Structure 1
């Protein structure tokens, strides 16, 4: 019995594990959405396609399973672009069904015609047209398999009239999920063992590619007496139950992690393709292990580049290594890490109840949120507070925009995560700038009855940009935001809304917010004059910030300089 292309695409996606489709219905996908209606797929009707792509990426990142977006021709599909870039860079297995105008009009300048392939081939692991009805299952299965096995977005382009075509569907193409054991060859492992056995100060540096291998990394660290530093993206699985963890490196990291990397004579980069060359050690030997050979030596020159799964490689490597006692390198790093954690707590303290530091707000959230809560954070300062002040315990999950660095990702990603985990606490840490950029889909939370909890860090500014400008010695330009009362707005939209202006009211309001049965907003007025302090202050940064102070005073803003000093340097 023949089926339409729409029915075949929907059926193939279901077989690949997809549960829902995010999008906005209309013209060129109406036949596909009708097939979705008649299938076991759920349609999540978003108000902006970018939110749909971010939500799908959030769902797939956390579950590891396939999610789907679908868009109409021209602007409908183009609105997905930023969310697709974000999801692809996160390694989220998403399939985008990007429709186009009818085939008879292609190439004739018809309204809404867009060459979808040119748009999406730069941000996908697969991008292909269904050119004939008999390709429908085959192309869709290939797309789903590419998304799941290559960890990224796959795009299937379908002309609107193609969805109505019928196909015999005689060959049942399906999705395969191989799980090979991958490690370097014995000669390479012997070379690596020799480097390790000869080194005096070894640091392990774990990235997102080490997910699922934390037990093996812990065993390697204990065997070598080596500190474990990690990237921001691997926080959730490296921090818990890792006795030799010394934190993160990079501009958002802590001093212990940075020094452990900088002071070693052998750095073992495991599943990390860390972007910032200036944070690699200047004199140490570097070994990089990655599942993708094209990543080797991409960020910094390496002495030995190896391809393999982190867990499989460590299992084969350990018998080749001489055990060693913990030395000064590890002891010093652990001591510094304890000081870093204490420093984070101290920056959250403030005797004035009318001044709420974002660090203090996040510390209260950390204490009151569920042990298995899932957190997202907007690009900018909210992701810093998440990374530094929310504790990982092996059950909690974290998602921030660390590779794409977009605004307005937090609550759209939380939307998709909540759809996948309706019984878990999902909390979005939103900047007021990010929150207000895509506010329309607050209505989606209400309409879909998704109990996402949104915490708004309301400092009436684009705070991270303001900090960037000040570090450059510039006056903050065009960063001020005139915000509504987000709590009142929330209630007008049909969700619970709470507002806090005093530290003494925070805990009771947060408990009520977390207990609200549906979606809810907690709008908290936080200190605007808050610097995101890097793990090490460079003299150039001090000079530039001082230059900002001089300019501000000359422009009649001395009160801001005094408050900045009081809140960040004098306590």
Structure 2
């Protein structure tokens, strides 16, 4: 006879898990004791949300199963945001969510809650272990779902169930089969006919094309088509790709937007890009996705095909005519070069007392390792990552593009650092995100995770402030009164640097990157910084002007002058 807790831990190890993130306590004490006696490493965080984000970071970068576990009631509830973020990233995470003892279920016992109702809305698997003999079978199904479907699986276990004995008679095990999916020949013929007839084709590639870059480039060459890409696929599409022209969307660039607008066909490949306003009319859009429910979900499409990107392109290429007119591609490439000049132009500071976040990021891009792993908080830091860091085929990037949470960056970096102890891992943190989950700086020290945290310290919730101003509103409740983060780092046992003048940045950043163990670089950046979209609409200009009028009438003329100088006149 074997204890359920031991069966769960053994099965997790067999599924490839290496560590479990969480906080010990009451209903999982027998589980954590089984972890203690096993090769599964327990990582003790200070807040369960950090554990969920860290497990998600580990799983996203490795593609392997990561685990977290929580006590009943508030313990498991604290995981929710980290679990939702990880699931939306497609990270294979397994959460052990414990509940009160079975004898108390349904009686309103303290800390009892219905875990299934919480997690079934964002998971690939969510089930109770209802009998001891189910333990291995349920955990196997959960791990297999997380690994093969890409997302979070939840196993709910009553606290007393961990102590039960089981015969464990059947050898259930995790399987990870692979397959190739492509459209039928008739649909491929119809697609080829449309592409051959079109004069201008723009390819739009998403995360679903991450394993199909050679096929994507071959398709672009055949069609003389530029390749725009989503934010999530930056690291896979951009490196050594002569057809790349950047992103579309609010975080994108002019070349991508114009290439879509000018195209006869926008061929969407493995993308579920959510913002309908950036798509052209229905007759222009053709979508290829492995999930049939994604076809036409974001914008009306003229044709939709179901298939994996690589195998679909392989089957399509011989059906296509070679296009010789490269004018559409040439125009997109020309604009992309102009866009890059604009980004490079922000790599220097004319006034060292005014540190722009773009300048900070360009310096980071130049000094960071060629195989560094970067995470960025939702909000302004994710913009600086996407626009100003170089994707070279070795670097990895992760930011909260689907869930849009604050405070994701350094917890996700913790997961990456645990999985890749020999690599440089850098968190690009906003001051708002950092202070939201600041307690787990202690985990960095306690677990010796050498994360390098760059804090863009502008004293405000900058992205929210920008949103308010673009809507013509006076910014409100966005101010942050921050500590000296370098001194805070030292109190927590980390090394810390603070930069208030641009002339001091390179020296401090070099020392920070070279430091042993976890370290913080606190950079006081310009507060009056807009995130400029690739195409500024008249309504946005009018709304920003309205903000200026309101600010002047409220006695905030200095801020308006600073906003104009720093964003429109440089």
Which residue is 1:41 aligned to? 40
Structure-2 residue corresponding to 1:313: 312
User: 1:269-348 counterparts in 2 under 5 A?
Assistant: 269-282=268-281, 284-348=283-347
Q: 1:392-403 residue pairs with structure 2 within 5 A?
A: 392-403=391-402
- 2:372–2:394 Cα contact (<8 Å) kept: yes
Deviations along 1:283-305, one digit per CA (max 9) or x if unpaired, are 65211111111100001111111
SS for the counterpart of 1:11 is helix
What is the DSSP-based 3-state SS (H/G/I as helix, E as strand, rest coil) of the residue aligned with 2:299?
coil
Distance 2:262 2:149 in 1: 35
Provide the C-alpha distance between the structure 1 equivalents of 2:170 and 2:475, rounded to a whole number of angstroms. Answer: 62
Q: 3-state DSSP class of the match of 1:305?
A: strand
* 2:505 is the alignment partner of 1:506: yes
How do 1:99-248 residues align onto structure 2 when only pairs under 5 Å count?
A: 99-248=98-247
Distance 2:8 2:315 in 1: 42
Residue 90 of structure 1 is matched in structure 2 by 89
How far did 1:347 drift? 3.4
Secondary structure of the structure 1 residue equivalent to 2:345: helix
User: 1:535 maps to what in 2?
Assistant: 534
For residues 452-463 of structure 1, the aligned pairs below 5 Å read 452-463=451-462
Tell me which residue corresponds to 2:387. Answer: 388
1:354-413: CA deviation from partner (whole Å, max 9, x where unpaired): 111000000000000000000000000000000000000000000000000000000000
Say if 1:88 and 1:123, in contact at 8 Å, map to a contact too: yes
Contact 2:57 2:412 survives alignment (8 Å): yes
The 8 Å contact of residues 224 and 326 in structure 1, kept in 2 or not, is answered as no
Structure 1 residue runs of 5 or longer lacking an equivalent are none
CA contact (8 A) 1:265 1:283 kept: no
Question: Partner of 1:485 in structure 2?
Answer: 484
DSSP-derived class of the 1:347 partner: coil
Which whole-Å deviations, capped at 9, do the CAs of 1:439-478 have from their partners, x for residues lacking one? 0000000000010000000000000000000001111100
Paired residue for 1:60? 59
Could you say which residue in structure 1 is the equivalent of 2:550? 551
Q: How does 1:363-442 map to 2 (within 5 A)?
A: 363-442=362-441
Q: CA deviation at 1:325?
A: 2.1
CA contact (8 A) 2:282 2:300 kept: no
Aligned equivalents of 1:484, 1:326: Cα separation in 2: 58
- Quote the Cα distance in structure 1 between the aligned partners of 2:128 and 2:402: 28
Q: Provide the rounded CA distance (Å) in 1 between the counterparts of 2:325 and 2:419.
A: 43
The aligned residue for residue 75 of structure 2 is 76
Q: Distance in 2 between matches of 1:17 and 1:192?
A: 41
The answer to whether the 8 A contact 2:457-2:523 is kept is yes
CA contact (8 A) 1:226 1:326 kept: no
Kept in 2, the 8 Å contact 1:221–1:227? The answer is yes
* In structure 1, C-alpha distance between the alignment counterparts of 2:341 and 2:261, rounded to whole Å: 22
Task: Structure 2: state its 5+ residue gaps.
Answer: none
State whether residues 262 and 282 of structure 1, in contact with CA within 8 Å, keep that contact through their aligned partners in structure 2.
Answer: no
Structure 1 runs of 4+ with >6 Å offset = none
TM-score, normalization by structure 1: 0.99
Using the alignment, how far apart are the partners of 1:152 and 1:99 within structure 2?
20
Give how far 1:485 is off: 0.1
Farther off after superposition, 177-186 or 364-373: 177-186
Query: Counterpart of 1:157 in 2: which secondary structure?
Result: strand
* Distance (whole Å) between structure 2 residues aligned to residue 467 and residue 49 of structure 1: 31
How many residues align structurally?
Answer: 570
Aligned to 1:494: 493
Cα distance in 2 between the residues matched to 1:68 and 1:464: 32
User: How far is 1:185 from its partner?
Assistant: 0.9
Structure 1 residue 424: Cα displacement: 0.3
CA offset at residue 282 of structure 1?
2.6
Query: Does the aligned pair in 1 maintain the 2:97–2:154 contact within 8 Å?
Result: yes
C-alpha contact (below 8 Å) 2:347/2:363 kept by paired residues:
no
TM-score with structure 2 setting the length: 0.99
Q: Distance in 2 between matches of 1:175 and 1:213?
A: 26
Cα offset for 1:63? 0.5
Partner of 1:249: 248
C-alpha contact 2:282 2:301 (8 A) present in aligned 1: no
For 1:157-209, what per-residue CA distance to the aligned partner results, in whole angstroms no more than 9, with x for missing partners?
00000000010111011111111011111111111111111111000000011
Distance 1:136 1:566 in 2: 63
